Structure 1
Amino acid sequence: MAALGINVYEGYGLTETSPVVATGNPVHHKVGSVGLPLVNVDVKIENPDEEGNGEVLVKGESVMKGYYKLPEKTEEVLDDEGWFHTGDIGYIDDEGYLFITGRLKNVIVNKSGKNIYPEEIENKILKSEYVDEVVVISQKDEDKNEYPYAVIHPNMEAISSLETEKNKTYSNEDIKNLIGKEMAKAIEKLPYYKKPSGFEISYEELSKTSTNKVKRYLYE
């Protein structure tokens, strides 16, 4: 977008936080970050791992007092000190910028206890022009060890253009080989434990909710 002369600034918030927590602006912004927390909002990361990722907690006057007539649900997300537990995973860099890297409920924990965030892997794979959609899920081996695995819906329009360019018809095997090479390039710099152990092709669009979020549970 910047190449087109359009500046885009990301922000982050939830209904429970009225709603803005952090936002970028023309003066303060970073690629990939949702910006700096607002002046009346405190943000901290709970139980950060070795990469600084942990659950994003928010506190301030804009945070809700609780869910209407739902005290038990309120207790699940608001602690005794008034911190709202967002359920989102992220980190804060040395300059105070907030980065969102995933959802707590989606985290894959491998046998070594390392956290793997599916969204981080998905965002890298989606950079390929030949990938239209991807969901990274947890697969378990016979010993119940978890590891990431990808389900990819190819961009058939882009592949069709490639067929024209190469004057070649791509079989299903050719498409899988192409996607495999694209994925390998995309995840090349990820630590070994974050790299999917395998992938499969879905020629149908991934099933989504009414808010356009992939139904992960259908692919696990």
Structure 2
Amino acid sequence: MESAGRADEALAWAERGLRACAAETYIDGRLVDYVCARYAQTGRAADAVAVRRDRFRLERSLAAYRQLRSVAGAADCWEAERAAALATLEEEARRERGGRYGGPVLIDALLDDGDLDAAWREAAGRADDRQWAQLADQSRETRPAEALGVYLRLIERSKEPTGDRAYEHLARLLQAARDCHRALGTEDAFTLFLTDLRMELKRRRKLMSVLDRHGL
């Protein structure tokens, strides 16, 4: 219909498809994208927000959160939409602690927004290692002590795995911890920590080589 110049009919069919999927647990993202794009073209920003809101409530993913933020920002209503979206994720976190949604997505959303204070509050008991690392990375300059605590925990967990990828990951964590010590004025403590670590793992020649290459 689009190709035939029948855009209004195409949109009507797409809207019909969304209504038909309203009670389902899955909506094809391409259908949502098409409808929202057409709404944007025709100045229907509020309708685009409503579609993205429904998609987010159904999917509750970081991608859906970002899409809602994009259209709500364009419609100048993100503050209200964000509060409602975060409330949805917080409620899910209470019901499904450690589940697929909820806590992890809530933390990802807060990190994506740059709301680090809230992310720190929600991270305890919920964040996985990837999220802790991201939180520490984003907080290294403003909260070096807390970031350092995260890096030290992750370093301890990263001592056991072997292989190039694992060694590069450990080196990156050590560099981040060194940055925190520098910000705190405690570089001597890092030097002692690194010396002990190298002694502990000295038999892993490949790791020693990686650490040398990174100036550690």
Q: Same fold (TM over 0.5)?
A: no
Greater RCO (Cα-Cα under 8 Å, separation 6 or more): 1
Structure with greater helix share of residues: 2
In terms of fraction of residues, the more strand-rich structure is 1
TM band (smaller chain): under 0.3
TM-score (normalizing by structure 2): 0.25
Greater Cα radius of gyration, structure 1 or 2: 2
